[in-house]
A and B are shown apart, each in its own frame.
Chain A
Amino acid sequence: MSDRPAAPDRPRHPAAPDRPRRLARLVPQRVRGSVGLQRAMLLTGAGLTALLLLAALLAPWLAPWGHAQLQDGGALFGSRQPPGPGHPLGTTAGGYDVLARTLWGTRTAVAVIGLSLLLSVLPGTLLGLFSGYLGGWADRLLVGVADALYSFPSLLLAIVMSVVISGGRSSLVGGLTAAACSIALVFVPQYFRAVRAEVLRVKAEPFVEAARVIGTGHLRIMFRHVLRNSVRSLPLLLTLNAAESVLTLAGLGFLGFGIEPNSAAEWGYDLNRSVSDVTSGVWWTALAPGTATVLTVLGVTLLGESLNDLADPRLRRRRAPAASTSPTAAKEPTRA
């Protein structure tokens, strides 16, 4: 006990990456350390993500109307009104204001991102940690299940899940939970795989053995020594997860398994409604929600990718003496 270093939470090992920095400090730091295209991508990504958060925060003040508002002072907005005074982006077939629904939609998107991250990161990481560290038949079973889920079309899993949870279409809370759970079902296996692979690697490192030699308990080794060194690939996965949850929510909404229009504004649903509009030449109902989806996914993806790219050379330099890792396919985004 007494010979333990003062700060035991810092495993001193050359292979151990620095302790995770706070995201708030990470972005400016990376901006300083970047040049050219990478810097532009990072700034664009950070900017778009900030814009999304800002829009979600300020939606009640930014949006000209409520997300389910059909009339103003007794006068109906009207269906498929072209952009004009009062309705800068026109109205939908259902008589909602397009701009208002697009702005309110940022709230739904942010809520789903947050909820789905919460629901996938924790179980995925813990399962990966325990499974990789303990091994045995449970590990093999979990790997099998994860592989099966991973290889299946994620959107279909999400649809089946959302039908199970909310009977297809539902209130704000029900719809959000359904979407988040469906996305979690898709992403838990991915976190599981990523963390498990790292745990297997770290488990064999001498510092883990050293910890065991001095009598450290398994739980402590798992959470103190192994986990902290196994979450290297998580930041990229997190942003992928966020991007994917927006896309999945939109996909669910588009297929009619999303959130009801008067519960919350959801871009996928609006796009679904606009399919028939497009055929008759009404362009404004599709453009705004679609562009909002693209910008959201683009922002999150660019942010994550450029952060990852910028972190990579540093990692590579540090790990240069060890065998260079082959570029893994797992890093590529897959998508339903």
Chain B
Amino acid sequence: MTLAPPLDGRRDGPHGGQRDGAGRGRFRPAVLRSPLARYLAARLLLVLPTVLLLLTAVFFLMRATGDPVTTAFADRLTPAQLQQKLHAAGYDRPLLTQYLDYLRQVATGDFGRTATDNRAVGEVLLTYGAATLELACWALLVAVAVGVPLGALAARHRDRAPDAVLRLAAVLGYATPVFFVGLLLKLVFAVGLGWLPVAGRASVQTELRLQDLADPTGLYLLDALRSGDGAAVADVLRHSVLPALALGLLLAGVLLRLVRTHLIATLEAEYVVAARSRGVGARRLLTRHAARPALVPVVTVLGLQVAGLLGGAVLTETTFEWKGLGYQLAHYLTVRDFAAVQGIVALFAVVVAVVNFLVDALAALIDPRVRY
């Protein structure tokens, strides 16, 4: 009997611990001037090690596969000549020296030159990055335009026919490789019906025309608009439809499921039930009461999907010969062009890290509970 109180006390221990996450905010505010600023600063600091880690990993992994000089000339040069070339390119130095050199370069914003076609990596990134950015924007547009309304629809008609159909469609969207979707779209709309172009970012005439612009941004739609040529704009748009659909539908499936799950969860929350009992209509419940809390996890996971979006972009670009970073990455990988691959991977890492940071910041802005 005397043992009972301490045991009870102990049992409370872990429970108290579990609530720690929620309770922490209550204990600390006095210390923190601006919780939001502090949270964002801490979060921003996490971006650096992530990028550094990925750079390091890719550097050593790529070195483990061999070097571009040997890949290119192994069967054409004598060992001595090869050695000379390796020495000239600096590939015979100790790995650690090369690594530190590389980090120093990157820190100053110099990504070096590509080994195979001798272009500045920075310039490669800019040129092809614009193409990938354009594709990603289109895809996001398609994903949000398709995924969010359909997800809300599924949540509203939960467990009834529309929900069942939409959920199956979402699973099917997940199960279909993005390049197969691309091929099917091509077969039907480009080859079968002949409505849209088969591949590329624009027709040859348009590309030539856009290159003549004084200061091309690389974003074809923008450039076409600036050129003031209606035909060019239409041409760029027509070329964008199928790639955007292929990549966008992939994301739309994920988005649909996310929106549905989280809307249903918040629709079941007590405050929503309370609002319903006060006579708030179904539409208003959905758009006003349930949407905002459901938005946080959706935005967060959508941020994580940027990684998926970039991966999907590599495949989509290859399918549609969309000359972006992914298309180039696949090319540079096959020829073992370290500098180019590292540059592209570094850019992807930075983009992912920064987007994740922005997403967390956005989540903190939407929902104060996030900033603890």
Hey, which bits of chain A sit against chain B, CB under 8 A?
37, 41, 144-145, 147-148, 151-156, 159-161, 163-164, 167-168, 201, 204-206, 209, 243, 247, 250-251, 254-257, 268, 271, 274-275, 278-281, 283, 286, 290, 293-295, 297-298, 301-302, 305, 323, 326-327, 329, 332-336
Contacts and interface: CB of A to CB of B under 8 A. Distances in A.
A163 B308 contact: no
Contact of A144 (B53, B64, B176, B262): B53
Given A145-B53, A335-B250, A156 B311 contact: yes
Contact of B330 (A167, A201, A256): A256
Contacts of A254: 177, 179, 315, 318
Interface in B317-348: 318-319, 329-330, 333-334, 336, 341, 345, 348
B171 A305 contact: yes
25 contacts: A144-B49, A148-B53, A152-B349, A153-B310, A153-B311, A153-B352, A154-B308, A156-B311, A160-B62, A204-B13, A243-B175, A251-B315, A254-B318, A256-B330, A271-B180, A278-B186, A278-B187, A286-B187, A290-B184, A297-B176, A301-B175, A323-B19, A327-B265, A329-B258, A335-B250
Interface stretch (B29-37, B80-88, B283-291, B297-305): B297-305
B301 A205 contact: no
Contacts of B58: 160
Contact of A294 (B175, B198, B250): B175
B333 A152 contact: no
A159 B333 contact: yes
B315 A155 contact: yes
Given A152-B349, A286-B187, A163 B333 contact: yes
Contact of B308 (A153, A206, A293): A153
Q: Is the interface of B mostly helix, strand, loop or mixed?
A: helix
Contact of B307 (A279, A294, A336): A336
Given A167-B66, A279-B191, A301 B297 contact: no
A329 B363 CA distance: 14
A98 B272 CA distance: 55
Contacts of B305: 334
Contacts of A160: 58, 61-62, 333, 341, 345
Interface string B180-200: 100110110011000000110
B14 interface: yes
Count chain A CB atoms within 10 A of each CB in B49, B50, B311, B356 and give the residue with the most: B311
Interface residues of B, number: 69
Contacts of A281: 191
Q: Is the interface of A mostly helix, strand, loop or mixed?
A: helix
Interface of B: 10-11, 13-14, 17-19, 49-50, 53-54, 58, 61-62, 64-66, 159, 164, 168, 171-172, 174-177, 179-180, 183-184, 186-187, 190-191, 198-199, 250, 254, 257-258, 261-262, 265, 297, 300-301, 304-305, 307-308, 310-312, 314-315, 318-319, 329-330, 333-334, 336, 341, 345, 348-349, 352-353, 356
A281 B192 CA distance: 7
Given A155-B314, A290-B180, A204 B14 contact: yes
Contacts of B13: 204
Nearest to B165: A37
Contacts of B261: 327, 332
Given A274-B183, A275-B183, A293-B177, A298 B172 contact: yes
A37 B91 CA distance: 60
A152 B172 contact: no
Contacts of A152: 54, 307, 348-349, 352
A278 B191 contact: yes
A327 B264 CA distance: 10
Count chain B CB atoms within 10 A of each CB in A243, A257, A279, A293 and give the residue with the most: A279
A156 B314 contact: yes
Contact of A147 (B50, B159, B164, B172): B50
B330 A209 contact: no
A98 B132 CA distance: 33
Nearest to B53: A148
Contacts of A323: 18-19
Nearest to A331: B261
A256 B64 contact: no
Contact of B319 (A153, A204, A275): A275
Count chain B CB atoms within 10 A of each CB in A257, A297, A336 and give the residue with the most: A336
B304 A206 contact: no
Contacts of B318: 254-255, 275
Contacts of B184: 286, 290
Given A154-B311, A278-B186, A37 B180 contact: no
A323 B23 CA distance: 14
A151 B179 contact: no
B333 A168 contact: yes
